[in-house]
Amino acid sequence: MIQVIGVLLVGIALFLDTMSYWKQIRKTLRTKRSTQVSSTQYLYKIGKAMCALAGLALYSNWVGVIMETFMLIIYILSLLVIAKYKPKGWHLFA
């Protein structure tokens, strides 16, 4: 029973975190502009996820590894959408 509750809570956490990014992606796709969105924020999130993945793997926390891997994919997809709609001449590493 505890495992079922744990799986539900992890699933809800992933869903809520994903929805926060989906809202930004949806807004960017609707307006076709991302001038007010910080792409650096997503670089930090990607870096955080990679460090967390390494730490969680060292401690053999495989549920955490799966969660961070899932969110790393969401962060990368979000950054790709936001970068696509940045103004002309914009560079990620300028």
pLDDT at 58: 95
- Average pLDDT (62-66) is 94
In a domain, 80, yes or no: yes
Render 3-72 in DSSP notation, one character per residue. HHHHHHHHHHHHHHHHHHHHHHHHHHHHHT--TTS-HHHHHHHHHHHHHHHHHHHHTT-HHHHHHHHHHH
> What pLDDT band is residue 47 in, cutting at 50, 70 and 90?
very high
Task: Name the domain count of the chain.
Answer: 1
- Average pLDDT (26-50) is 90
- Average pLDDT (6-14) is 91
In a domain, 89, yes or no: no
**pTM for this model (two decimals):** 0.85
Its domain, for residue 17, covers: 2-84
Mean per-residue pLDDT of the chain: 91
Indicate which CATH number applies to the domain containing 63.
1.20.1280
In a domain, 74, yes or no: yes
In a domain, 93, yes or no: no
Token pair listed for 75: 């962060």
